[in-house]
């Protein structure tokens, strides 16, 4: 085990679980990741292995059939999985957020209905806020649910759903005009939409057109979601009360930012491992390139950034587990880890020289995957706004 894989203060159970996942990554993910990624092929066998290990129910309480682990444990597991293949960590990320939303905000009936089947992976989750042309401006959401007798009718188009095709339960944020409000965010509601896995019309009035072709982050399906007269009921409103959707989703995104930070930590650690290994194999001017001062400085910079990101991510997870507000730390962790990841991957790419540009080398895949982490769960600019506003709260002028 390298120094960059250790975390002090873990219980024996946490250490054993992380070790088990690390072995799974070494044996089941790393040997096939690049081949599957180049084919843009969904990792069915890997997913089945994660189901057997209970990873889909990692944070779901034992009373619902899950393992009842902490956010920190989950983040460390995600870090290991992302080290193997970042797309696989994406498959469980959105599932985890939906399970968290139901656990924290769902009705008792919703918890009983979904959580046991989510723990086994029978029900797989995706969540959706973004829309075409929307970006980070959540207040501009146009997809709308209108009360129609005892039911609701949803119309609109959602965008950038990770697991949009493979999921059969989607938490969707839509506009519900509930009357005059001093905030546009109070007219938003989260609906739990059930559908079949796959593409085409997956439920009445719900269509998943197909996979979006991406530069990286392949294997996992990223899709649109189109609503055309989809009818649903009050029972499918998260928590049973309309108008709370924005605040529910922001709670989910907050823990999701810790998750993205963990994914960035795993990806950057793998890039460092590849870079330091190659630097001790490749020779120029009569010696290993690791012995050249310029490469040595790169390695030192990379390792420092990997470790700093990891520690920031751990702190944000521990705060949430302690029941404390962590939006500042989660924003910092996501911002630091994703930016550092992009830099560490590029440094490793440079160390590989011309071979880094070849699809035969793993670093080429990582180089295309890292940019997604700069965008997911909020761009650097969004994180800076969150961080800055929280700092103004904590350091008010006197």
Question: Positive or negative CA dihedral for 259, 260, 261, 263?
Answer: positive
Q: At 198, give phi and psi (nearest 5°).
A: 120, -165
Least Cα distance to 336 among 383, 382, 372 occurs for: 383
Cα–Cα distance, 319 to 329 (Å, whole number): 8
Cα–Cα distance, 150 to 246 (Å, whole number): 23
* DSSP state letter for 63: G
* 146-149 LR contacts (CB < 8 Å, sep 24+): 146/176, 146/177, 147/176, 148/231
Please say whether the beta carbons of 87 and 369 come within 8 A: yes
Instruction: Give 264's contacts (C-beta < 8 A, 6+ positions apart).
Output: 82, 309, 334, 337, 338, 340, 341, 370, 373
Residues in the chain: 398
Least Cα distance to 194 among 171, 225, 212 occurs for: 171
Instruction: Give 291's contacts (C-beta < 8 A, 6+ positions apart).
Output: none
23 is catalytic: no
Where do we find the tokens 């499918």?
A: 236
End-to-end CA, the chain: 50
Active-site entry in 150, 377, 381, 393: 377
Cα–Cα distance, 390 to 141 (Å, whole number): 25
Where do we find the tokens 């890292």?
A: 370
Please say whether the beta carbons of 260 and 313 come within 8 A: no
Helix (H) or strand (E) holding 83: helix 71-84
Query: How far is Cα of residue 217 from the mean position of the Cα atoms in its chain?
Result: 12
Please say whether the beta carbons of 10 and 18 come within 8 A: yes
Q: At 145, give phi and psi (nearest 5°).
A: -110, 125
The catalytic site residues sit at 377
């Amino acid at each position: 085990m390298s120094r960059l894989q250790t975390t002090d203060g873990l219980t024996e159970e946490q250490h054993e679980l992380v070790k088990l996942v690390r072995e799974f990554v070494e044996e089941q993910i790393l040997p096939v990741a690049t081949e599957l990624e180049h084919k843009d092929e969904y990792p069915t066998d890997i997913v089945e292995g994660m189901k057997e290990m209970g990873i889909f129910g990692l944070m779901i309480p034992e009373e619902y059939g899950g393992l009842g682990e902490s956010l920190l444990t989950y983040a460390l597991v995600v870090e290991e999985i992302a080290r193997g293949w970042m797309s696989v960590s994406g498959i469980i990320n959105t599932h985890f957020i939906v399970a968290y939303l139901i656990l924290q905000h769902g009705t008792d009936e919703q918890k009983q209905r979904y959580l046991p089947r989510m723990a086994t992976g029978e029900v797989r989750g995706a969540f959706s806020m973004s829309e075409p042309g929307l970006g980070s401006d959540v207040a501009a959401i146009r997809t709308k649910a209108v009360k129609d007798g005892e039911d609701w009718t949803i119309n609109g188009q959602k965008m950038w759903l990770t697991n949009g095709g493979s999921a059969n339960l989607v938490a969707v944020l839509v506009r519900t005009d509930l009357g005059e409000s001093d905030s546009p965010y109070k007219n938003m509601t989260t609906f739990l939409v059930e559908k079949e896995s796959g593409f085409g019309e997956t439920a009445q009035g719900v269509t998943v057109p197909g996979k979006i072709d991406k530069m990286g982050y392949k294997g996992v399906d990223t899709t649109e979601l189109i609503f055309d007269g989809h009818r649903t009921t009050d029972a499918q409103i998260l928590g049973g009360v309309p108008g709370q959707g924005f605040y529910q989703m922001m709670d989910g995104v907050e823990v999701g930012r810790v998750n993205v930070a963990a994914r960035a930590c795993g990806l950057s650690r793998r890039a460092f491992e590849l870079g330091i290994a190659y630097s001790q194999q490749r020779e120029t001017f009569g010696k290993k390139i690791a012995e050249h001062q310029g490469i040595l400085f790169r390695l030192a910079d990379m390792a420092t950034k990997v470790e700093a990101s990891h520690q920031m991510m751990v702190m944000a997870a521990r705060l949430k587990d302690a029941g404390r507000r962590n939006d500042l730390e989660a924003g910092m962790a996501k911002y630091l880890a994703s930016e550092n990841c992009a830099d560490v991957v590029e440094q490793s790419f440079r160390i590989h020289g011309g071979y880094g540009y070849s699809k035969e080398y793993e670093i080429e895949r990582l180089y295309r995957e890292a940019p997604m982490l700069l965008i997911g769960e909020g761009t650097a600019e969004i994180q800076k706004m969150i961080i800055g506003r929280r700092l103004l709260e904590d350091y008010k002028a006197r």
